[in-house]
Amino acid sequence: MSRFQVVSGKGGTGKTTVAAALALALASEGKRALLVEVEGRQGISQLFETEPLPYEERKIAVAPGGGEVFALAIDPELALLDYLQMFYKLGSAGRALKKLGAIDFATTIAPGLRDVLLTGKTCEAVRRKDKSGRHTYDYVVMDAPPTGRITRFLNVNDEVAGLAKMGPIHNQAQAVMRTLKSRDTQVHLVSLLEEMPVQETVDGIAELRGAGLPVGRVMVNMVRPAVLDGLALERVRASTPRSAIAKSLSAAGLGGARRGGGAERLVTPLLEQADEYAERFALESAQRAVLDGLDLPLHELPLLAGGLDLAGLYRLAKLLRAQGVGTER
């Protein structure tokens, strides 16, 4: 599996949750994964129930099998200071610029500069090696911007490399694009089995492919459990007589002590719920067929009853491992 994993998706699909579960899954069996946040929402710290992340790589979790998950929330201003120090050795002069507000001004008004800094800092972590020549992290997972912005976000360095024909900015932008468009990178899209997220996923994949960026997998999140099997759904559509349903309810001890009448009152709301489920099942099946038609690896994660907590996050990571994520050779 590629070392750099970018996770995007329409807002509300749970892309941050999927990115965190993916990092845990990849870090299993003694691996080291870095989970990167670029939108300043501190969503990672909330998921892992820890303090807000500073601008430094910090260990936040131990994965099954002894692996480790580190996290980094990238601050564009501090990333620009790093950049100025790396290429221009500004040191204290750079810190003075920050005090004067020049750094904040630059990252606010310069078109694409924030995205250049965010992708550049992340790709540096992907390429970084220790003294023995081994990569610092086996995997880097980015909780990236939403689907509507992901192609421009990842492709911004291509534009910068075209504008700056030489020098450190040009060289840095080219190095970033080499990483992003290499076999080291995969861009995954998170969707729900709903029409708008699925359509945005389809459009996002087309844009990514058009820009020459490597598309990885589709992660279908918050999948509801199957309540009725195919035979039961057919019975719902066939309009089973109310009397037969009431009789079955009574035989099961439902409806109270009144003979027939108690169970009869349950028939209407029960049929209404069954109709709603059958309609939703048909809609979800149609959207799953659209995603299947993309000819990409498809993974499904369930809707967790009672909401998501840290234990639930580990459960999602285990399910991803069970579906082959991180176990490829």
CATH number at residue 70: 3.40.50.300
Residue 285 lies in a domain: no
Mean pLDDT of the region 165-181: 75
pLDDT of residue 255: 66
C-alpha to C-alpha distance for 216 and 229, rounded to whole angstroms? 32
Mean pLDDT of the region 188-211: 97
Mean pLDDT of the region 294-309: 92
pLDDT of residue 85: 59
Q: At 160, is the pLDDT very low, low, confident or very high (cuts 50, 70, 90)? A: low
pLDDT of residue 230: 66
101 and 216 belong to one structural domain: yes
The verdict on pTM exceeding 0.85 is no
pLDDT of residue 282: 84
Residue 242 lies in a domain: yes
71 and 135 belong to one structural domain: yes
Residue 263 lies in a domain: yes
216 and 240 belong to one structural domain: no
Domain encompassing residue 252: 230-279
Residue 328 lies in a domain: no
pLDDT of residue 100: 43
pLDDT of residue 114: 73
206 and 235 belong to one structural domain: no
180 and 261 belong to one structural domain: no
185 and 257 belong to one structural domain: no
Q: Name the β-bridge partners of 276.
A: none
* Structural contact between residues 223 and 193, judged by C-beta atoms closer than 8 angstroms: yes
Identity at 279, one-letter amino acid code: E
169 and 103 belong to one structural domain: yes
Residue 327 DSSP one-character state:
-
Of residues 255 and 173, more confidently modeled: 173
307 and 164 belong to one structural domain: yes
Residue 293 lies in a domain: no
Mean pLDDT of the region 197-216: 96
Please check the confidence at residue 94 and state whether its pLDDT lies above 50: no
At 273 the three-state DSSP class reads helix
64 and 135 belong to one structural domain: yes
Per-residue model confidence as pLDDT tens digits over 10-47: 999 999 999 999 999 999 989 999 999 998 889 999 99
Please check the confidence at residue 128 and state whether its pLDDT lies above 90: yes
Please check the confidence at residue 111 and state whether its pLDDT lies above 60: no
For the chain, percent of residues with pLDDT exceeding 90? 53
Of residues 223 and 175, more confidently modeled: 223
Residue 65 lies in a domain: yes
pLDDT of residue 161: 54
Q: How far is CA 237 from each of CA 248, 249, 272, 276, 320, rounded to the nearest angstrom?
A: 18, 19, 12, 11, 35
Residue 110 lies in a domain: yes
DSSP string across 205-261: HHHHHHTT--EEEEEEEEEPPP-S-HHHHHHHHTT--HHHHHHHHHHTT-S-SSTTH
How crowded is residue 159: how many other Cβ atoms within 10 Å of its Cβ? 16
DSSP string across 26-39: HHTTT-EEEEEE-S
Of residues 34 and 91, more confidently modeled: 34
Of residues 10 and 251, more confidently modeled: 10
**147: Cβ contacts below 8 Å, ≥ 6 apart:** 8, 9, 10, 189, 200, 201, 203, 204
CA atoms within 13 A on the CB side of 64: 16
Per-residue model confidence as pLDDT tens digits over 41-65: 899 999 999 999 988 999 999 998 8
Please check the confidence at residue 109 and state whether its pLDDT lies above 80: no
CA 328 to centroid of chain Cα atoms: 20
Q: How many residues does the chain have?
A: 329
Of residues 254 and 221, more confidently modeled: 221
pLDDT of residue 227: 74
Q: Out of 54-68, 101-115, 223-237, 298-312, which region has the weakest mean confidence (pLDDT)?
A: 101-115
pLDDT of residue 238: 65
Domain count for the chain, please give it: 2
pLDDT of residue 116: 80
pLDDT of residue 258: 52
213 and 252 belong to one structural domain: no
220 and 248 belong to one structural domain: no
Residue 287 lies in a domain: no
105 and 142 belong to one structural domain: yes
Q: In whole numbers, what is the pLDDT of the chain averaged over residues?
A: 83
CA 302 to centroid of chain Cα atoms: 14
